[in-house]
A and B are shown apart, each in its own frame.
Chain A
Amino acid sequence: MGIRENLDQIRQKFDEAVGQASVLQQLEEMRVAFLGKKGELTGVLRGMGSLSAEERPVIGQRANEIRVHMEEMLSKRVEELKKKAQEEKLQKEAVDVTMPGTPREKGALHPINQIIDEMKELFIGMGYTVADGPEVEYDYYNFEALNLPEGHPARDTQDTFYITDKMLLRTQTSSVQIHVMEHSKPPFRIIAPGKVYRADNMDATHSPIFHQIEGLVVDKGVTMGDLKGTLEVYAKYMFGENTKIRLRPHHFPFTEPSAEVDVSCWACGGKGCRVCKGEGWIEVLGCGMVHPDVLRRCGIDPEVYSGFAFGIGVERTAMARFGVTDLRQFFEGDVRFLGQF
């Protein structure tokens, strides 16, 4: 048998084997068996010396073609088998993605504090700082300095917890106004969120402890229009872009003029529904221009400065926002309740 026939035979043998190889190991063995130092093709080429000068280049070329063919076939098969192996692995690794995830505990911020956080964010953006004041407070800061001297009938509207004759639990965050004005110089833009206390028994809509956010702005040339504008921003931010506000004259001893503020009902948009008791409006806060006597008492000249103040009830806003109907839930610490927010 001639060398040429030999080559063809090797190639045929190779083509059969490569088609049958099913694991990478077999292909590696074939590479050694055909192309290795002692491989079949190498063996044939070694016998080239016995060929004639005419035959040698022809056979050489032929052998070379077969070698290239073998190398290509081998690497092609290797790729195919690797790919197959990868696919099998992926298939094996598949999981039921609808099985539950490993539980991780995640706590929630208190809904009351979430409202306070949002308000802080809003007002800080408008140049306000956040002030703080004591809850156990002197009568002076809670009442006297705010034009509510001893014996003033408006004191009756705020059932006060007293500690001593001169010390009490603050009934309003307005006391912080006085601390701020006493300790620094205008201009001021502050909000003061915090706990306040009134001797109300606990029920679905009352609590002896609740939260207010006080606002105070004092500067040259502050007008009631500025107060209205500020409250409009607040109302839209808190209750939605289409919210309208309405001011009604009212009386607070420490502001003059004073107003109560209604927002258009967040449930019906002002048409009248159960939430707003058919009124279309819901009262959300009290406000006014800081009373000149209050400014004077804190050493601020009302001829030069004017300002406004407002007080927002947080619980009410939180109840509306989160659909809470019983105020008591805020203070019970039930994780099933708290975890929802």
Chain B
Amino acid sequence: MKAPVEWMLSYTDIKAETKEEIRELASQMTLSGSKVESVDRVGAEISNVVIGLVKEVRPHENSDHLQICQVDVGEDEAAESGRKILQIVTGAPNVRVGGYVPTALDGAVIAGGHTIRNGKLRGVESLGMMCSFEELGLNAADYPGGVEYGLIILQDIDEFKGLSEAELNGFIGKDVMQVLGAEGTVIDFEITSNRADCFSILGLAREAAVTENRLTGRGAKFNCPEPVVKEESDARVEELVNVKVEAPDLCPRYMARAVTDVKIGPSPKWMRKRLQEAGVRAINNIVDITNYVMLEYGQPMHAFDIRTIRGREITVRRAADGEKLTTLDEVERTLDSSMLVIADKEGGIAVAGVMGGLDSEIREDTPTVVFESAIFDGVTVRRGAKKIGLRTESSSRFEKGLDAVTCAKALDRAAELVELLGAGKVCKGVIDRYSRPKEPRKVKCAVDAINKFIGIHATRQEMEGILEDLGCETHFDEGYVIPPSFRDDLLQDADIAEEVARFYGYNRIESSLLSGCESMSGGLTREQKLCDRVRRTLTGLGYNEMLTFSFGSPTVFDKLQLPAGDPLRDAVVISNPLGEDFSVMRTSMVPSALESLARNHAHRVERAALFEISYVYIKTDKYPDELPEHRRLITLAGYGDPNFFDFKGDVEALLKAVRVKKYDFEPGDAAAMPYMHPGRLCRLTVDGRDAGFFGQIHPVVAAAYEIPDDTMIACLTASALFDAVIDIPQNKELPKYPAVTRDIAVVLGKEVPQGYVDRLIRQRGGSILESCTLFDCYEGLQVGPGKKSLAYALSFRAPDRTLTDEDVDKAMKKILNGVETEFGASLRV
């Protein structure tokens, strides 16, 4: 909300004129809760242009239209005459001796950012420039008496007419923008949604006054005179128009006044200046009045040309589904029954609280105007405005909830301004459809409770002072406060406490440390600790932690070659995404990881290793009656040097570091994962439970993502791992008896996974088999086609005795029998 400082402070006795004073006011208001976005000077572009007096004019020898002038621009102690006289060449036809004119001095900046420098015009020295309205960025129409083309001559302008020579001489050397009243400062405030009352100059003026009075203690008063209407017309408003409210639930108050003998014309300069500074374009007196009152009171107004109210009856009703209405901005809108329209006997003439209809617009010849001031339901206006895609100054005020008392004042203020501006004659009476008059509300509160809650020691007098300045009635003896009608946000004691606190000063609250009744022991949960252990292990293994987006494009499923109906395709869909690329919640980490690797590859990074612990979002059977499962995955991905077994080594190192017990590896189901290399896909099981997969990306998918063929990825289910973690490892006595080592080499079909053989050896070896380590795998001539040889180093040991050859032979025999019968293996000799 842009508040012209001059306008805002006109309702207070605060003096803030210099840049520093205004900055100080703005920063104090920020500290009391009216956050200042910016402080801007209007007319600040113009500099070093002062009022000068033309002392002499003579023709230029080398020109038929240029004239050489001597201009007095103020005192100059160094000069003999004590005056600074500049010679300026001008082409303006209206220059005359004795004219008080704006004079741009050497180095002055005028409209458009042009800098004026001393120079020569057709051989004659010219030390500056005399200016027109346009050159100062001003509109001649704002200064009746002034000319649009030609110099500004001060004493010709209506508001300077009749000034004595002495008074005019007082302007010489003064800043022209100041003299013309063209400069001003505007503070732009951020208005929070709870403060509909601050969406107005009056509301901000009140905040300014309370801030100065209470927070800074400099003392200030807020003063807003009640509007007075003379009611000059003989007609009564009821004779001109009737109002019916058919939807009182959505329109608790509707008021109207009528104005006859309307004379449409420009509004006065002061009003236009205030509107312009507040960011509203001036149009004509009647429209300007509605906007002025909206800004001043925060109450949006509407003015109807009475000729366009067919049947002379205004009805407030819900729109019909599909009802059409063309708004002022010449767009046809389609309405529905959730919206409220203002209608006449034949159809809609305005979308209530949002925008008027094009047909009811005020025209040059409008004879009679009906002013509307009403309260519409905030949620209805907000939804309606959103639906038709039209958020206006008006709707953004209604949606915060407006005050029925202010509604009446604003209507009178509009009528008062009509009379003040001579824009027409105000009819007698007010139409007021007020179905649910608002009762004053008692809010329970107590001095001690507020002090205790905030942690301050404010006196009752301080609290009363603050609350009364804000318009509250205080009754601390009875334990309550009555907030003003325009403060619908003050509902309970915490709200009152905030009012006290912000003017007591948030920064006067003394800091304290939580004492609490019990001391509390904080900490991480088991899962959080394990996640941290995973993260530290993986960074140690050379992986960088990444953070990727949880949503992506549905096209990734095609990129992964997933068949139609694949469960991964059944993703949670965002109904209003930023675009298709960000429209589905991920069901797999593979695309996220590959996209990150692709970016590295595109930047010619030779080797990349990344990991992330994050969620995929899986629909449950009960979705959408239930939230999707947030499944936490540990993802490792990389390209560059890891071959499959290096990568598997990293996975195993991770499992060991987090102390996962009983994990196993199986060849993966390549058919179910078409994005993986079918011969390099491994499934991890932990305690017999599926715990994810890892392997090499399918080359077709690698090509689709433009990443190297040797890209590896692992997606492990965190919960499966964590459930099998040994929390407290138990010490095993170091061996006292010697180990017996034996090697065994078996020849078997090359399709048999080594892991199966390893598992069988361990099973058969029994409790005395301490370790089994593969040390050779051979395929070739010596073992014949379709065969391979696996050689293991076995170590046997018992905790309580030295093993005999007999013990070990027995175990070896069992192992050999096992591999022979299970895998058709034979001992290699």
Q: Let me know if A224 and B501 touch, CB within 8 A.
A: yes
Measured as residues with beta carbon below 8 angstroms from the partner, the interface class of chain A is 35 or more
7 A-B pairs with the lowest CB-CB distances in the bound complex, closest first: A105-B542, A333-B596, A225-B455, A249-B33, A223-B455, A151-B379, A257-B498
Q: Let me know if B31 and A229 touch, CB within 8 A.
A: no
CA distance A302 to B494 in the complex (A): 10
Q: With A187-B518, A223-B453, A335-B600 as given contacts, are A169 and B546 in contact (CB-CB < 8 Å)?
A: no
Residue of B506, B517, B523, B542 with most partner-chain A CB within 10 A: B506
Chain B interface: which of A52-60, A81-89, A129-137? A129-137
**Chain A residues within an 8 Å CB radius of B574:** 161-163, 169
CB of B573 within 8 Å of the partner chain: yes
CB of B115 within 8 Å of the partner chain: no
Q: Let me know if B514 and A226 touch, CB within 8 A.
A: yes
Interface residues of B in 23-48 (CB under 8 A from A): 30-33, 35
If A107-B545, A167-B624, A229-B512 are given as contacts, then 15 extra A-B residue pairs at C-beta distance below 8 Å, sorted by A number, are: A107-B540, A108-B539, A109-B535, A110-B545, A124-B523, A129-B522, A134-B627, A151-B383, A154-B194, A162-B575, A189-B520, A201-B578, A219-B516, A250-B33, A335-B608
Q: Let me know if A127 and B35 touch, CB within 8 A.
A: no
Which A residues contact B (CB, under 8 angstroms)? 104-110, 112-113, 117, 120, 123-130, 134-138, 150-154, 156-157, 161-164, 166-167, 169, 187, 189, 195, 197, 199, 201, 208-209, 217, 219-226, 228-230, 232-233, 246-251, 253, 256-260, 289, 291-293, 302, 306, 330-336, 338-339
Residue of A250, A251, A302 with most partner-chain B CB within 10 A: A251
Interface residues of B in 490-545 (CB under 8 A from A): 492-495, 497-498, 501-502, 506-507, 509-525, 528, 532, 535-536, 538-545
Q: Let me know if A334 and B603 touch, CB within 8 A.
A: yes
Cβ-closest chain A residue relative to B574: A161
CB of B454 within 8 Å of the partner chain: yes
Minimum CB–CB distance for B543 against chain A, Å? 4
CB of B399 within 8 Å of the partner chain: yes
Q: Let me know if A152 and B193 touch, CB within 8 A.
A: yes
Q: With A224-B453, A333-B610 as given contacts, are A249 and B547 in contact (CB-CB < 8 Å)?
A: no
CA distance A32 to B795 in the complex (A): 49
Total contacting residues, chain B, CB less than 8 A: 92
Cross-chain contact of B35 among A120, A136, A250 (Cβ < 8 A)? A250
Cross-chain contact of A224 among B455, B572, B630 (Cβ < 8 A)? B455
Cross-chain contact of B576 among A162, A221, A306 (Cβ < 8 A)? A162
Cβ-closest chain A residue relative to B401: A153
13 sampled A-B residue pairs with Cβ under 8 A:
A108-B539, A124-B522, A129-B524, A150-B379, A162-B576, A189-B522, A225-B511, A229-B514, A232-B511, A256-B498, A333-B547, A334-B603, A336-B605
Cβ-closest chain B residue relative to A166: B624
CB of B553 within 8 Å of the partner chain: no
CA distance A95 to B195 in the complex (A): 76
CB of B775 within 8 Å of the partner chain: no
Q: Let me know if B512 and A226 touch, CB within 8 A.
A: yes
CA distance A223 to B546 in the complex (A): 39
Minimum CB–CB distance for A280 against chain B, Å? 10
Cross-chain contact of A225 among B31, B396, B454 (Cβ < 8 A)? B454
Q: Let me know if A335 and B630 touch, CB within 8 A.
A: no
Cβ-closest chain A residue relative to B512: A225
Q: Let me know if B522 and A123 touch, CB within 8 A.
A: yes
**Chain B residues within an 8 Å CB radius of A109:** 535-536, 539, 545
Cβ-closest chain B residue relative to A231: B511
CB of B456 within 8 Å of the partner chain: yes
Cβ-closest chain B residue relative to A138: B627
